[in-house]
A and B are shown apart, each in its own frame.
Chain A
């Protein structure tokens, strides 16, 4: 079975999904991310889906639950790089990914995570 690698960059975790996701691979990623956040104390998770040609309700649900799990573990998640055709289809399908923060690309996503962390340190 494919396992999606999780990279650590400072206080953030990076995931790039480059395979056509099987359902079980998506569930495994969810568990792997949860344990990596716990183990590393990461404060942010960036998920790059620019290579994904579709996001169906199963993958949408996975993105939403990763965001939820990460939030409970005190980390912010941002999903980046959704292709326009995927975004159009997703909304028509009826999914708007509530609770999932998104950014256009990796750079914007990193900035978003850094800002979220900086704001917290200010307080």
Chain B
């Protein structure tokens, strides 16, 4: 029996085959999947903002940010026996949900989140082998630890697999 492990907003977790990780309704947030094919170990983070360095101390929960969350996810996977050199990444989300948003602090936040995720993965030397980002709709993301496949489900555009 495989278990389904839910990853919330600004949260992360890992799973080993045959379990499945899921994060619901990514909007402008980005979901980062890491996978070690050797031991069938999967990790998933759901980030809200690009970087912890710009955040006030009242709001610095590390799972919230692209840079700190990716770092912590890598460490958690390594602690579970994963080898960083084998990690491959798939990312999804970063949509622009509202088109005419006048509020400058969150305009283009989906795009900025996606960029920050790519920067951090590049810094960590983890290749991105699939990307489903941008556009204007929400995505639910399933990551299967058995094969590392990322399944995306949308409200009105159907579902597909990466």
| A and B physically associate | no
